[in-house]
A and B are shown apart, each in its own frame.
Chain A
């Protein structure tokens, strides 16, 4: 058991952090809100890291933590965490082009209920970034009970407004096309992996909210002293940092479990734990973050809400905290 990063992983983190601090400022996020093209220059940098989608889960998590920290808009998550693994699962020739960043894609899988379990629903929901990617991979339950993938180039997609403009979501109608069969277990496994990557992103977003709140607590003065000297504020920040620390640890534990090919039940538990822990950390960082900021945190002009929006939207994506707890409950009660 070793939680230390390799020097390559440390370098990857540093590179990502520096690049994103420069290229993905809050003004890019605000610009992207009105015009998706504002995120195009960012993708020109991130495309160089597309090969992470086909590599170890831990490495992708390292990068995703940093994209989460800046709430990066654009197709990086959808392409690397969802689309590339689907291409890999069906042995598509597009896989190489996706891993060089030449094409982008997303996956349409969730049905009417919004959860990412394979289904036969005619409308797929929560399809990420469907307006900007090249290909939508439609995943459906086939009549025999297995699954199929259909690759659709620029299908029509309806935007569904959410609180979070940094990651727009769409509905895509099921349409005709070549159904390529795929093992349902393989699909479940790649959704599980994407869930861990999203959890890593959420830990990054939660850390941003925490860092902003901690700094504010040191800077802001009331009653002649920094508000961070008040015990009510100190204990909030202590609890926020605890949730963040354990979510971080749960995420990398799950990523290591996936990379090590541990037994299925063991992996499943680790994935549910990671996403639920990240959900708790993100929500706490968001709520307590606003409270610690007081009135300024309530304004549109302050950047805090950009990350709060991302935190709550991610918490609901790929299974809510409650859903993951319920799946964990099923596993615990199925035992023996």
Chain B
């Protein structure tokens, strides 16, 4: 038990910092709570595409991967150091996470040799991917999905609808979960298909986020023909892959979640000073409570990382997803409260930080709903970690 990192890991950190000082464009240092959530801004601006490619080309996109996948074969500890440094500086790696964070790891784990070849472009951001899981009648109950793929000799024919599909408006490719067998238990008849978004029969209707920004879409499939070789993993074996891809998403997210909490606490202290309530004992205590919860969650994240690096399962990820997202929401709401009547004001001249607190409050609901809602996380903790019987 000790706090310090090893010298070789600190050397790794210094190398990263030198790279960032030299290459990171000014836009990456804007210190936004949620990059890419400003109404009116392009969802994936050019500077962000260039930056992602630069990271890839220098082996800093996913440093644990080999160079051909945008990495430098670093150790798990160094990956953690990398995430610490990037997130504490608020530097985003990419403004579209599905490709590098979910699709590429899933293809590398479950795909055939041809499908694995799609991973580098997904990580570099040259191909933009979306993930078609949720449907109007299948959200938390993902296994209830009903978008149908009829199996023919050398192709599938897809009919149905996806919803809340992030980045669908900008994507070239979709990882689409479909029902290939309606006659078996709902978990057992699902398959994963790679669907090019320019295939005839696909219609994308944009949906805006609560913040007003572009973000997700409805995707309609009408007699969409998908070649047989676009099936990932076995036929009817898609459920196993959904579990895998969400695990990839959860593994590193806590570092980002904690960094965002720390950034909010710093912001709340400054906000309280500017609003003249820095001496208010209630305000001080509530910010301190937030700090305490963020700091203890950070410690829990590191503890979970220790078990993960030792190869034991780390249920901490479910705790971290639920707790950082819920605490984040509470901190933004506190930021509104500190402003009193000005909490909802977004006016550039009158409001605080262009309405940062109220806007981020809205956006922060994404994290308590998407990727397994907080209620679903509690179910997972109760049933898988605490081994309580299913209701």
Contact = CB atoms under 8 A, between A and B. Distances in A.
Interface of A: 1-6, 9, 58, 214, 217-218, 225-226, 228-231, 233-235, 237-239, 241-242, 245-250, 252-253, 255-257, 259-260, 262, 269-270, 272-274, 276-277, 322, 324-326, 328-330, 332-333, 335
B1 A256 contact: yes
Given A234-B383, A235-B382, A242-B381, A229 B292 contact: no
A325 B288 contact: yes
Contacts, number: 162
A242 B324 CA distance: 11
A326 B4 contact: no
Contact of A229 (B295, B300, B391): B391
Interface of B: 1-5, 77, 80, 265, 269, 272-273, 278, 281, 284-285, 287-289, 291-293, 295-297, 299-300, 302-303, 305-307, 310, 316, 319, 322-323, 375, 377-379, 381-383, 385-391
Greatest chain B CB density within 10 A among A226, A235, A329 is at A329
A325 B285 contact: yes
Contact of A335 (B2, B269, B288, B377): B269
Contact of B2 (A235, A256, A325): A256
B2 A326 contact: no
A234 B378 contact: yes
B382 A237 contact: yes
A322 B292 CA distance: 11
The 9 closest A-B pairs by CB, nearest first: A234-B382, A329-B284, A249-B299, A250-B296, A329-B288, A246-B296, A3-B306, A253-B299, A328-B288
Contacts of A237: 382, 386, 388
B80 to A, nearest CB: 8
Given A242-B323, A246-B300, A4 B285 contact: no
Contacts of B316: 245
Nearest to B281: A326
B292 A260 contact: no
B378 A326 contact: no
A260 to B, nearest CB: 5
B1 A58 contact: yes
A273 B389 contact: no
B82 to A, nearest CB: 14
B381 A1 contact: no
Nearest to B268: A332
Greatest chain B CB density within 10 A among A226, A233, A238 is at A238
Given A229-B390, A329-B284, A333-B284, A260 B300 contact: no
Contacts of B289: 276, 325
Contacts of A335: 269
B221 to A, nearest CB: 34
Given A6-B1, A238-B379, 12 more contacts: A2-B2, A218-B388, A226-B388, A230-B391, A238-B377, A242-B323, A250-B295, A250-B299, A257-B3, A260-B3, A277-B292, A322-B285
Contacts of B4: 1, 260
